[in-house]
Amino acid sequence: MSFTQQILLNVPSVVLCLLMVCGSVILTILGLLVVRRFVPHHKLKAHNDVSGPIFSTLGVVYAVLLAFVVIVVWERFDKSDMNAQKEANCLVDLWRDSEAFTPEFKGKAQGLFKEYSKVVVSEEWDILAKGEMSPKVGEIVNKMWTLYSGYLPRNATEQAFFEESVRKLNEFGELRVMRIVDAHNGIHPILLMVLTVGGIVTIAFTFFFGAESLRTQAAMSVLLAIIISLSMFTIFSLDYPFTGDVRINPPEVFKVLAVK
């Protein structure tokens, strides 16, 4: 389990957001006061014409990188949600297709589908928060494959439904694997380090502008720090789609099948 997942598991989202925002604000104010303590504003003001274009370039580069990561994380979160819904829909299709087979096969298949849904909702979804999977669910999936691989269709109708069921079973298995992979794969630590260092550098650069009013400069620096820290909080919260308060919940279809 990664360090980010440990934080998301143990720290509520509201508390984490406040810590990141308040921490960045406090450090920004302290940093500005330290710079002003040793360098008078009139000396800094003499270099504003040079500092301005450099800061603009730095801000654009960092903003593009930050926006890119936010979009990637959000799209990944949304895709994980869609895959979970597709996984549940595949199970519903398998349930319906099983009506075309013998009563004995249908009873066994639907029993496994119900057991799968129940264990996923009650056990595996909580384990996903740690980036892990339930061995019990894996055993149920193996039983599904054993059941279908041992069945011989009796007529053309059963053959058609059987082929479609096997195709759905393959898709169902792939979607479950993708869900497990998404649960423990996050942004590469190097990229997080670059974003963090880039945010610190961008905020620190504002300390070297020679504004006559310290309060005005502090306000501008603090607002920038708040925007960056909120963006980093968004990345942290959505990085692991099944971990933390902001996470993907089990699809309603699983809950319905579990009590069917």
pLDDT of the residue at 48 = 65
* Full pLDDT tens readout for the chain, 260 residues: 777 888 888 889 999 999 999 999 999 999 999 988 887 766 767 666 666 788 788 888 999 999 999 999 999 999 999 999 999 999 999 999 999 889 999 999 999 999 999 999 999 998 998 888 889 999 999 999 999 998 888 899 889 999 999 999 999 999 999 999 999 888 888 998 999 999 999 999 888 877 778 888 899 999 999 999 999 999 999 999 999 888 999 998 888 877 76
Q: Which residues contact 129 (CB under 8 A, 6 or more apart)?
A: 5, 9, 183, 242, 243, 244, 247
Overall number of domains in the chain? 1
pLDDT of the residue at 231 = 94
Domain with 154, as residue range(s), is 3-258
pTM for the full predicted model: 0.86
